[in-house]
Amino acid sequence: MQNQAKKPIGVFDSGYGGLTVLKEIEKQLPDYDYLYLGDNARAPYGTRSFETVYEYTLQCVKKLFDMGCPLVILACNTASAKALRNIQQKDLPLIAPEKRVLGVIRPTTEVVGKYSKTGHIGVLGTTGTITSNSYPIEIAKFYPNMVVHQEACPMWVPIVENNEIESDASDIFIRKNLENLLSKDKNIDTIILGCTHYPLLMTKIKQHLPDTIKLVSQGEIVAESLVEYLKRHDELEQKCTKGGSIDFFTTDSSENFDSAASMFYGKPVKSSHLEL
């Protein structure tokens, strides 16, 4: 069980993808304690219904609260798209009004205008994220004149999770989805990687795109936004302990987690199994 004196920042994902975000958060905010939770036993979330993603995410957020986290980052676009609003508006006031849960979609949409000259944006994500329309809705709040086109890439997460990144199958699906997206609008000059797994496919994606198109991945953006958030929310910031520790938990086998997790995190990972 977690040391109760420790009040880590919780970072949650359906599986491994959130590690690409944690890696960047840790670079910019190395002093805090962190607790990473991957719900690998029930991943992927990307093809699941709204109700299921909400139920699973809420359960994991509650667990992270029980383990002492005053703040939880949903480092998963699918969970941010399908569960965040309900958790923030319905659940938090009842279960933990003093705690906070943040997602990855809003910080990304807030800054996307910096990258695009044409104002035409492409978004790639899981089926759940794309059908939720969260990206076009959030982008319109900050940039009402932007044109947004989306493409669901249901095969990309399994390709990454099964370490098929260098395979021919990976080329086939990446090419197909990028062609689909670009055929919707020739003026797209910026593409958001709206899934925390996709940075692992960056090299492959670039091979199938003209150099003129910018790819936006979220890790750094989310980390910068968290830095600013903690500056603005002093009371919450004071509650997060600063011991520089990172504890990893998975709802599936920790052995399986550790061998794949290092690929996402860029360093060896030693996790513990967690029963929800």
Q: Which residues bind ligand DGL (CB under 6 A)?
A: 13-15, 17, 43-46, 76-78, 126, 129, 157, 195-197
DSSP 7-39: -PEEEEESSSTHHHHHHHHHHH-TTS-EEEEE-
Q: Distance between CA 212 and CA 42 in Å, rounded?
A: 38
Which is closer to ligand DGL, CB of 152 or CB of 240?
A: 152
Pairing of strands 120-125, 190-193: parallel
Closest distance to ligand DGL from the beta carbon of 272 (Å): 21
Sign of CA dihedral 76, 82, 85, 91: negative
Closest distance to ligand DGL from the beta carbon of 252 (Å): 12
**Residue 195 bears catalytic tag:** yes
Q: Distance between CA 276 and CA 56 in Å, rounded?
A: 10
Annotated catalytic residue: which of 60, 69, 76, 153? 76
- Report helix angle 254-265 to 18-28, nearest 10: 60
Annotated catalytic residue: which of 60, 69, 153, 195? 195
**Residue 69 bears catalytic tag:** no
Closest distance to ligand DGL from the beta carbon of 15 (Å): 6
Q: Distance between CA 53 and CA 47 in Å, rounded?
A: 9
Which is closer to ligand DGL, CB of 43 or CB of 67?
A: 43
Closest distance to ligand DGL from the beta carbon of 13 (Å): 5
Which is closer to ligand DGL, CB of 2 or CB of 133?
A: 133
Which residues are registered as beta bridge partners of 123? 150, 192
Which is closer to ligand DGL, CB of 10 or CB of 17?
A: 17
User: Catalytic site residues?
Assistant: 76, 195
